[in-house]
Amino acid sequence: MRTFIAFLTLLIVVGSIIPAFSQETERSEVVVERMSYKLARGVTNAATCIVEFPKQIYLTGRGRGAVGFAIGPLKGIGMTLYRAFAGVTETVLFLVPQPGYYDPMINPDFVWKGWEDIRSDPSQSKESEAKEVSDGSKEK
């Protein structure tokens, strides 16, 4: 009886461990595709990093008004250097699945993304505040 209980316990342990080892590994085509995309993203970011300079001037000026045109060039220089660093790093280390699993080091992953208006139009926000004060409630 004792051997039967030991055998049954061993059977349960082995039966619960085997499914953990049977996980499907990712296909090599997917890994190669992600590596090549990381390489292309790195080369593109290193080559187009200079576009961050006028982009940041435009976005900061649009978001902050006249003060943005003074802060924008500083922000543009910083983002240009950061995008260049991220591009060179991704180009050199495209075989390494870091950060994440071949995820981009910088967000947005390309310079031509992220030109959308982040802040709402200031004239619209003033109108909504005026309605809020006069109505006593928030309108959206």
> pLDDT digit string (tens) for 9-62?
877 877 777 666 656 666 788 889 999 999 999 999 999 999 999 999 999 999
Amino acid symbol at 132: E
- What is d(CA 72, CA 105) in angstroms, rounded to the nearest whole number? 22
Cβ-in-10-Å burial (0-12, 13-18, 19+) of 42 comes to buried
The pTM score is: 0.63
Task: Categorize the per-residue pLDDT at 139 as very low, low, confident or very high, splitting at 50, 70 and 90.
Answer: very low
- For the stretch 95-126, pLDDT in tens is 988 878 889 999 999 999 988 755 545 555 45
Q: Tell me, what's the pLDDT at 140?
A: 42
- What is d(CA 13, CA 132) in angstroms, rounded to the nearest whole number? 65
User: By 3-state DSSP, what share of the chain in percent is helix, strand and coil, each rounded to 5?
Assistant: 70, 0, 30
